[in-house]
Structure 1
Amino acid sequence: MTDHKEAITILGKTIHLGESKELSFEVAKLHTFNSVEVPVFIERAKKPGPTILLTAGIHGDEVNGVEIVRQIIEKGINKPKRGTIICIPVLNVFGFINLSREFPDGRDLNRVFPGTLKGSLASRVAYKLIQEIVQEVDFVMDFHTGGSGRFNAPQIRIIKGSKTLDQLATKFGAPFVLYSKNLNKSFRNTCHKLGKPILLFEGGKSFHIDNNVTIHGVNGIKRVLHSLGMLATKFKISTPKTDCVFINESKWIRAKYSGMFKATTPIGSFVTKGDFIGNITDPYGKFNHFVKADNTGYIINVNELPIVYQGDALFHISKELL
C-alpha cells in the first residue's frame, strides 16, 4: 500500500495532500423534498501513503460499529501521519434513525452491491459508494455486530488464502479471526472483486453498545494504522492480551426445545465436547434441559434472547483451529 496520489476525487470533490474535508453523501430526497445526507470525513496528511476507508452502520441497528468509528473521529485517530483516512460512521442513515436493519425499500444494503445507477434506493446508494468513494481507496475496515439478539465475540472475518488479509488481521489483534466466504452481493465481496483488501469486524449485538467491544475495535484500528506507518506519534498502541485464534470452521448449536434460555458459559470461553454451557426451561418450573457443547472449541457467539424456539441458534463454536 504505497499510494502517492497528489489528489484524490471523492463524491466529485478533489482533495489534495494535507487537506481535510467533510463532504455530504446525498442518499436520497424525501417526499418532503428534504435531502438525506451522510457525512463523510476525509483527512489527508501532507506525506503520501495509503488511502484507508472505515465504514459502519451498513445495517442501521448495528450501533456498536458506529460507536467505534465515532471514537476514531472524536479522538483524532483519523488524522494520519501519512496517507489518507476516510470515515463513514453511518452508511444506512435511514435504518440508524429508525433502529432498523434495512433500508426504507425493505432491502438489506449489504445484499445489493455493487448496486446500479437506476435500481432500488439501496442499490443506488451501494452504487454511489462504490463508484465515488471505494474506487479511490486501497484498503477497507468495515464494522458490524451480531443480529437478532446474538452477541458476537470481537472477531475479524476474512476469506481464506490471502496472505495480505492474514497479516492485516493479525495486526488488528482481535481475539478471533474467522475464515468465512464472501457472500454474494455483499460489500465485502464487491471490495474483494475490486482488489481492495477488506477486514470485516464483528462484535457485540444490535441495539447495544458494549464498552469492551468498542475498545477492541478502536485498538485494532490503531494497530493496523501503526503497522502502515499512518498512526500519529501521539497515539500509543496496546499489545493484545492473547494471540489471535484463527478459526477455519465453526458450527452453530441449535435449540432442541422452545423455552426460556440462559447461557451459563461466558462468550470467548474454550469448551470441551459434552460440557454443559446453558439451559432451556419452561415458565412453570417443570422442565429443565441442559445444553451441551457438540464439539470442542471456542464460543464466539451467544444468543442473549431470554426466549428461544426449537431450532434457534444458541451458540457458535469453533470447530477447526489453525
Structure 2
Amino acid sequence: MTPRESFKIGDLEVAPGAEAMGDLPLARLVTGNTISMPLRVIHGRDEGPTVWLSAAVHGDEIAGVEIIRRVLDQVNALTLAGTIIAVPIVNVHGFLNGDRYFPDRRDLNRSFPGSPTGSLAGRVAHLFVTQIVDRCDVGIDLHTGSDHRINLPQIRADLDDPFTRELAVAFGAPLMLHAKLRDGSMRAAATSRGATVLLYEGGEAWRFNEQAVEAGTRGVLRVFDRLSMTGNGEPLDDSDVPESRSTSWVRARRTGLVQLHAKLGEYVEKGSPLVTIHDSVGRRLGSTKAPTNGIVIGHTQQPLVNQGDAIVHIARLDSEPTNVIRHGKDFT
C-alpha cells in the first residue's frame, strides 16, 4: 500500500499520523506587527475526507473555539482516516477587539469569496477560501447568537441536498433548519466550490454556554463518525430529528421591560403566551401570544426592549416532535 503524502498548508508540512499547529499570515497591525490566522492540522494515517472546522467568523462568537478544542482532544492522528483543518479564530481582528465585525465594520460572513485586492474582510475571506475551503470536502462552521440573543443548538444547511441532509441528521442537534444560501456567506462560497457545509448555531456571544458547547462537540464527533473518520461519536437515534423550513421573530409591540414566558427549546402552540411587557413602575403595557406552533430557537437576553425589537425566534414545524421540552426542561 502506498503511504499517504504529507499535508502541506502555509508553513506546515504534516506527516501522516501526525498533527501540527501553525498560522496563515493575514496583515500587519498599525504597530507594524504581523497578525495571523491560527491553524491546527491533524493528518490521519489512513485515507479519508478532508474536513475543516471554523469558528469566530464573527469575532465575538467564541463558543466555537471551545468546541474545536474539545473535539480535537478526542481525535488521534494515528487512528484518524482523513485530515482535519481546524481554524478556531477566522476573524482575528474582531476577536482581538471584542467585536463581531472587522475594524471597518464589514461583516466577514458577507464578504466571501473575497478578493486578494479588496477590503480587509474580503482579503481574509479570499485567503480562507483558497487555503482552507479549496482543500476540503466538508466544512463545519460554528456560530452563536449575536446582539444579546441566545440560540438553541441547531444545524442550518441545505436539507434538500441528500448528502448534506445525511450529515445534518448525523450531527444530531435539537433542530435542523433548512436554510437558503446567502450571498457573501462562507457557506454559499464553499458550496459553489463543491464543498458540503453545515452551519452550527448555539449559545450566545462572549459566553461558553455549556449546553451549546456540549451539543456542538457531540455533533462534530458524530459527523466524523458518519464520514468514517473516527469512532468517537456517541450513538444517536436519528429517527426523530425535528426539522423546520420556516422561522419568524416575534417583535415587541411596546417599549419597556420584557418578561419571557417561553423557554429556549420549548414547543409552543399558537395562542400560548410568549411575553409580557411592563414599564419601569410595573404597569402592564401588553402581552404577545405565539403566532404559530413551533419551537423557540432563540430569544433576547436583554430585558429592556424598544418597540419593534426582536424578542422570540420561533421555528415552525409540520407536526409536534416527540422530544420537545415541557415545563422548562432542557431541550438538549
Q: 140-149 or 17-26, which moves further after superposition?
A: 17-26
Query: Structure 2 matches for 1:84-233, cutoff 5 A?
Result: 84-231=83-230, 233=231
Cα distance in structure 2, aligned partners of 1:176 and 1:78: 29
Cα distance in structure 2, aligned partners of 1:236 and 1:180: 25
Q: 169-178 or 99-108, which moves further after superposition?
A: 99-108
Contact 1:19/1:44 (<8 A) preserved:
yes
One-letter amino acid of the counterpart of residue 112, structure 2:
F
* SS of residue paired to 1:146: coil
* SS of residue paired to 1:155: strand
Contact 2:170/2:236 (<8 A) preserved:
no
**Corresponding residue of 1:23:** 22
Cα distance in structure 2, aligned partners of 1:112 and 1:124: 9
The answer on 1:256 being equivalent to 2:253 is yes
Taking structure 1 as reference, are residues 105 and 78 closer, same or farther at Cα in structure 2, changes over 3 Å only? farther
Deviation at 1:236, TM superposition (A): 5.2
Q: Deviations over 1:29-82 (max 9, x none)?
A: 112211112220001111111001000000011111222112223x24374521
One-letter amino acid of the counterpart of residue 77, structure 1:
V
Deviation at 1:147, TM superposition (A): 0.8
Cα distance in structure 1, aligned partners of 2:46 and 2:175: 33
Taking structure 1 as reference, are residues 308 and 241 closer, same or farther at Cα in structure 2, changes over 3 Å only? farther
**Corresponding residue of 2:329:** none
Contact 1:172/1:221 (<8 A) preserved:
yes
One-letter amino acid of the counterpart of residue 63, structure 2:
N
**Corresponding residue of 1:58:** 57
* SS of residue paired to 1:94: helix
* SS of residue paired to 1:212: helix
* SS of residue paired to 2:54: strand
What TM-score does the superposition give when structure 2 sets the normalisation length? 0.90
**Corresponding residue of 2:302:** 305
Cα distance in structure 2, aligned partners of 1:78 and 1:224: 16
Taking structure 1 as reference, are residues 114 and 144 closer, same or farther at Cα in structure 2, changes over 3 Å only? same
Q: Deviations over 1:200-258 (max 9, x none)?
A: 00001112110010000000011111112212x5x351536993211011121111111
Cα distance in structure 2, aligned partners of 1:171 and 1:53: 17
Taking structure 1 as reference, are residues 294 and 210 closer, same or farther at Cα in structure 2, changes over 3 Å only? same
Q: 235-244 or 58-67, which moves further after superposition?
A: 235-244
Deviation at 1:321, TM superposition (A): 3.1
Contact 2:171/2:219 (<8 A) preserved:
yes
Contact 2:12/2:20 (<8 A) preserved:
no
Cα distance in structure 1, aligned partners of 2:158 and 2:238: 25
What TM-score does the superposition give when structure 1 sets the normalisation length? 0.93
Q: 28-37 or 108-117, which moves further after superposition?
A: 28-37
* SS of residue paired to 1:215: helix
**Corresponding residue of 1:292:** 289
Cα distance in structure 2, aligned partners of 1:205 and 1:158: 20
Deviation at 1:168, TM superposition (A): 0.2
Taking structure 1 as reference, are residues 65 and 13 closer, same or farther at Cα in structure 2, changes over 3 Å only? closer
Structure 1: gaps (5+ residues): none
Q: How many residues align?
A: 316
Cα distance in structure 2, aligned partners of 1:115 and 1:241: 37
Structure 2: gaps (5+ residues): 320-332
Percent of aligned pairs with the same amino acid: 35
Cα distance in structure 2, aligned partners of 1:151 and 1:164: 29
